[in-house]
Structure 1
Amino acid sequence: MKAKDLDKLFDDGEEDVLQYFDVSKTRRINWEHELVELELPKERLAELDAEAARLNTTRGQLISKWVRERLEKASTAVE
């Protein structure tokens, strides 16, 4: 397939173009994880779980998202 044809498929958004790529060996650069323990009162944990359920995500993914957003906001405020 030519690049212009792939571009058109992507731009039209009618087809998943990932099927045209070999993603078996893809990786995220600088994507190392470290486990962090977090203590919360049971009431806050229930609120966190409810919010995660409302957003159809997991507790851990929601916390990661919020931390990432806060750090990005803080780094742009410093610049």
Structure 2
Amino acid sequence: MTAKEFDQKFDDGEDITEMLDLSKAKRPLSAQKKVSIELPIWMIELIDQEANRLGVTPQTIIQTFLAEHLAVNNPS
């Protein structure tokens, strides 16, 4: 299969996983470290409200906010 054919299958939304060698695949930046932070109660309440509104966990709200903020302030 040519690279062009591979790209076309990918672009068409076809499953290409059988064509990949995933034995050594890595997820960049996937290592995690647990941290503990203290936040004011009003901030926790707002985070909880937003998490409930979106149907996600408060941790997801915090991680998303941090990732977006860091991406804006540290463009690659």
TM over 0.5: yes
Does residue 41 of structure 1 match 2:40? yes
- Report the TM-score, using the length of structure 1 for normalisation: 0.61
Q: Which has the higher helix share?
A: 1
Unaligned 5+ segments in structure 1 are 1-6
2 CA distance for matches of 1:42 and 1:49? Answer: 10
27-36 or 63-72, larger mean C-alpha shift: 27-36
Q: Percent identity over the alignment?
A: 33
Question: Post-superposition, which runs of at least 4 consecutive aligned residues in structure 1 deviate over 2 A?
Answer: 7-13, 15-18
Number of residue-to-residue matches in the alignment: 75
* DSSP-derived class of the 2:60 partner: helix
2 CA distance for matches of 1:68 and 1:10? Answer: 27
> Alpha carbon RMSD of aligned pairs, Å?
2.7
> Corresponding residue for 2:57?
58
In the TM superposition, residue 63 of structure 1 has moved relative to its aligned partner by 0.5
Unaligned 5+ segments in structure 2 are 1-6
Matches within 5 A, 1:4-43: 27-43=26-42
